[in-house]
Structure 1
């Protein structure tokens, strides 16, 4: 299953060339990831940190008033990290494909922590084996 986040575009996201700046896509991914992980009915309320991002820019996204869709799903779950894949897209085109390695973090103790069984169950709901098809 995939999670859908409708990301609003802001005037300030645009660069001098009239399209959404490439660096802004990191913020879009962050917004989608936080929306996914921090829902009141779900886990990961303790926090997490990003260990790695990979972004593949496919085409320019021109500023507009309508939001852009960000689909995300889990591709890998390990003992103390998991990977989220994303597509920033409209129904007829993909602007960005990306992935993020996320590490659950205990901010009180200032160290990474293992994924709990409840968190693992939640992540498995969104685990999608279509990663290879998406990467093509």
Structure 2
């Protein structure tokens, strides 16, 4: 689980993601683009858990509309996996947000926190589609408060 400094809902899912030597940049830190890959991999495994083994939201169509990451500390290579903890932090008619906290087994540091907005998508019609009730129910079962990212200054004022 991520360090207690960042509140994480009890129903959040934590996925282990391998940190590869090739993920490092010239400074010996995990490259910023690799974090997006860590989030993606965690999402794939979490969706499989959240939406069941019969069908996944990924098979029905979902697109990433936005991703935002606050980098908090540099992650260096380790044989220990990154731990990506994620939950659904907002649900609307055809989109939803996922919040993430990135840590690492054996470390008390939080390396990043992030949020992605995803849109449910009809692959045949090539347009957004409404979130189905069974999908909404699955997302509500892993729902929690959104993270406050640096760009959310207006949210802090309320």
Is the TM value for this pair above 0.5? yes
Whether contact under 8 Å (1:20, 1:60) holds in the other structure is yes
Whether contact under 8 Å (1:43, 1:122) holds in the other structure is no
- 1:131 is displaced (CA, Å) by 3.5
1:34 aligns with 2:50: no
Q: Distance in 1 between matches of 2:87 and 2:26?
A: 32
Q: Distance in 2 between matches of 1:14 and 1:2?
A: 28
- 1:119 is displaced (CA, Å) by 0.2
Matching residue of 2:128: 112
State which of 78, 90, 99 in structure 2 corresponds to 1:64: 78
State which of 63, 68, 73 in structure 1 corresponds to 2:87: 73
> How many pairs were matched up?
134
Matching residue of 1:19: 29
- TM-score calculated relative to the size of structure 1: 0.91
Whether contact under 8 Å (1:43, 1:119) holds in the other structure is no
Q: Any gaps of 5 or more consecutive residues in structure 1?
A: none
Q: Distance in 2 between matches of 1:109 and 1:130?
A: 31
Matching residue of 1:6: 16
Higher mean alpha-carbon deviation, 42-51 vs 81-90, is at 42-51
Runs of 4+ in 1 over 6 A off after TM superposition: none
Matching residue of 1:82: 96
What RMSD in Å do the two structures reach over aligned CA positions? Answer: 1.8
Q: Distance in 2 between matches of 1:107 and 1:42?
A: 15
Q: Distance in 2 between matches of 1:131 and 1:14?
A: 26
Whether contact under 8 Å (1:75, 1:128) holds in the other structure is yes
